[in-house]
Amino acid sequence: MKKEFKVEYEQKDNYKLSDLKDFEVKLLKRVLEICKEAKEKGNHPFGCLLADKEGNILMEQGNEEVSLKGDCTAHAEALLMRKASQIYTKKEMKEFTLYNCADSCAMCTGAMYWGNLGRHVYIARESELKKYTGDDIRNPTLNLPSRVVMASGQKEFETLGPFTELEDEFFKLHKDYWNK
């Protein structure tokens, strides 16, 4: 856990909520509520949702690592992708957007890739999240932008984020939560 590493790649674009459609801002705010609900259930404060192009919510998912007895793959996005890929075809998944509380880890980005998701919109940077989680054994956050993972694949994939205007609201749930 002591190994220091540095990822040179950092997202430079400055995304503004005003660039999103109104319903997308509402969906990101709903994601923050899902994080809060996950925390209230004793899980880690992470969450996401899947929506179609009109903004209809198809699925919501909070982190369930504690509920699922320590299942290390029970990140919200991985759980959502597992469930969604059993309901929707890969062609349908390509048209959907996953709205996320933070940039996705390598595992979850992998699930998005294999599940043929089309689009990812996220609030918080993993590099900032890492300041809260530190090397806590429960969530030793990677600083590996999902764009780097997706750029290694063979598909077109749209990523929008971070939306730093909502970061404080997300990190509020992480303050004093992790053992740094």
Residue bearing tokens 């007895």? 69
Other beta carbons less than 10 A from residue 6's beta carbon = 5
Establish if 76 lies at the interface with Zn ion (CB under 5 A).
no
Which CB atom, from 51 or from 108, has the smaller least distance to Zn ion? 108
Angle, CA of 111, 107 and 113, to the nearest 5°: 30
Give the tokens for residue 125. Answer: 């940077």
Which of 44, 75, 120, 174: binder of Zn ion (CB under 5 A)? 75
**Measured from the CB of residue 160, what is the shortest distance to Zn ion in angstroms?**
18
Q: Does the bond joining 140 to the residue before it have cis omega, within 30 degrees of 0?
A: no
Question: Is residue 105 a contact residue for Zn ion (CB under 5 A)?
Answer: yes
Q: Which is nearer to Zn ion, 108 or 149 (CB)?
A: 108
| d(C-alpha 112, C-alpha 94), whole Å | 10
> Which CB atom, from 93 or from 108, has the smaller least distance to Zn ion?
108
Q: Would you say 55 or 67 has its CB closer to Zn ion?
A: 67
Residue 122's DSSP bridge partners are 100
> DSSP per residue over 27-68, as a string?
HHHHHHHHHHHHHHTTS-S-EEEEE-TT--EEEEEE--TTTT
**Cα separation of 57 and 100, whole Å?**
13
Using rule CB under 5 A, residue 98 touches Zn ion: no
Provide, rounded to whole angstroms, the least separation between the CB of residue 54 and Zn ion: 27
Q: How far is the CB of 71 from Zn ion (least distance, A)?
A: 12
The residue (of 75 and 120) whose beta carbon lies closer to Zn ion is 75
What residues form DSSP beta bridges with 97? 51, 119
Region near Zn ion per CB under 5 A, out of 18-26, 70-78, 125-133, 161-169: 70-78
Q: Which one of 1-9, 71-79, 93-101, 140-148 is the stretch in contact with Zn ion (CB under 5 A)?
A: 71-79
Footprint on this chain of Zn ion (rule: CB under 5 A): 75, 105, 107-108
